[in-house]
């Protein structure tokens, strides 16, 4: 039975994960971490990682970028692998994650669904074929409670596509702030927020008289939660390094 520490346990994803783990027989949550220390499940909740003195096999984090530094320090000090699912990290924080992974096992992805990870591969393939002559735009839609924009997934898709283009593209987020025609060497990234939309991502390749769109729709938060729990079980006992969905599937 793998023992999990759940960071962000009192958030939306924290609750979905707690319910999923309760129904599994290969893992259990031994502690939660959240600035809101209310107890909703049968594990204790601590305000910060260092307040928990017990052991565990793995940490899952769906919280806030401000938790990153203490969480990575806790993971390294206690020798516990960490699954980072939080989004909205700064460039410096992404570098911090890469540096930390040299000393502790870190699983990091902006999207825990299998479909999105296949979408990234399909988008890379499409960009390799169409990237020189088609315009690339990414549109993401999420619920009205989401803090960060654009989504971590939109940025992950953009970064993957950039890697296969001959020229490094410029990301354009605020098209309304400029009065000029679109440059060839751009990826437009657009965020929509409303209601309870779980998560939708489209990448559009617009050419002369034809458009190819690759779309993914998440229908429930369980998709991400199951992926994160599977990643956590996968990470138990791993050596230091940076892992992602490709390593797991």
Ligand X SMILES: NC(=O)C1=CN([C@@H]2O[C@H](COP(=O)(O)OP(=O)(O)OC[C@H]3O[C@@H](n4cnc5c(N)ncnc54)[C@H](O)[C@@H]3O)[C@@H](O)[C@H]2O)C=CC1
Q: Give the range of 57-65, 75-83, 98-106, 231-239 binding ligand X by CB under 6 A.
A: 57-65
Tokens of 183: 């440059």
Pure H helices in 46-201: 68-78, 91-100, 114-130, 152-162
Catalytic hit among 64, 76, 124, 146: 146
> Per-residue contact track with ligand X, 30 to 49, x per CB under 6 A?
---xxxx-------------
Name residues whose C-beta falls within 8 Å of residue 179's C-beta, 6 or more positions apart in sequence: none
Please check if 8 is assigned to a binding site.
yes
10/104 with CB nearer ligand X = 10
Answer yes or no: 176 catalytic.
no
- Three-state secondary structure along 115-137? HHHHHHHHHHHHHHHHCCCCEEE
Place of tokens 């025609």: 181
Residue with smaller CB distance to ligand X, 71 or 161: 71
Residue nearest to ligand X (CB): 11
- For 120, the token pair is 């990234």
226 binds ligand X (CB under 6 A): no
Closer residue to ligand X (CB): 110 or 138: 110
**How many whole angstroms separate alpha carbon 21 and alpha carbon 24?**
5
| Structure-block tokens of residue 145 | 């409670």
Nearest CA to 114 out of 235, 226, 236 is that of 226
Rounded Cα–Cα distance for residues 84 and 208 (Å): 40
State yes or no: 34 annotated in a binding site: yes
Q: Per rule CB under 6 A, is residue 85 in the interface with ligand X?
A: yes
Q: Which residue in 141, 142, 201, 221 is the catalytic one?
A: 142
> Is residue 150 involved in binding ligand X (CB under 6 A)?
no
Shortest Å distance, C-beta 65 to ligand X: 7
Catalytic, 180? Answer no
Residues annotated as part of the active site: 142, 146
Tell me which residues touch ligand X (CB under 6 A): 8, 10-14, 33-36, 62-64, 66-67, 85-88, 109-112, 148, 224
């Amino acid at each position: 039975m793998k023992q999990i520490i759940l960071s962000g346990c009192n958030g939306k994803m924290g609750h979905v994960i707690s319910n999923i783990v309760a129904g599994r027989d290969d893992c259990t949550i031994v502690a939660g971490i959240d600035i809101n220390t209310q107890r909703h499940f049968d594990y204790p909740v601590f305000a910060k990682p260092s307040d928990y003195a017990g052991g565990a096999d793995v940490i899952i984090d769906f919280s806030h970028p401000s938790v990153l530094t203490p969480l990575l320090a806790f993971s390294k000090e206690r020798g516990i692998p960490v699954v980072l699912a939080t989004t909205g990290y700064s460039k410096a924080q992404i570098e911090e994650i890469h540096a930390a992974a040299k000393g502790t096992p870190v699983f990091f992805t902006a999207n825990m669904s299998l479909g999105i990870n296949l979408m990234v591969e399909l988008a890379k393939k499409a960009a390799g074929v169409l990237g020189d002559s088609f315009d690339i735009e990414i549109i993401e839609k999420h619920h009205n409670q989401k803090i960060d924009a654009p989504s971590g997934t939109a940025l992950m898709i953009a970064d993957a596509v950039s890697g296969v283009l001959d020229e490094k593209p410029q990301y354009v987020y605020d098209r309304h702030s400029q009065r000029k025609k679109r440059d060839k060497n751009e990826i437009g990234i657009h965020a929509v927020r409303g209601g309870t939309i779980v998560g939708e991502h489209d990448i559009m390749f617009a050419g002369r008289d034809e458009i190819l769109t690759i779309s993914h729709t998440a229908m429930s938060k369980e998709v991400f939660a199951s992926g994160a729990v599977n990643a956590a079980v996968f990470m138990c006992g791993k050596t230091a390094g940076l892992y992602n969905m490709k390593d797991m599937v």
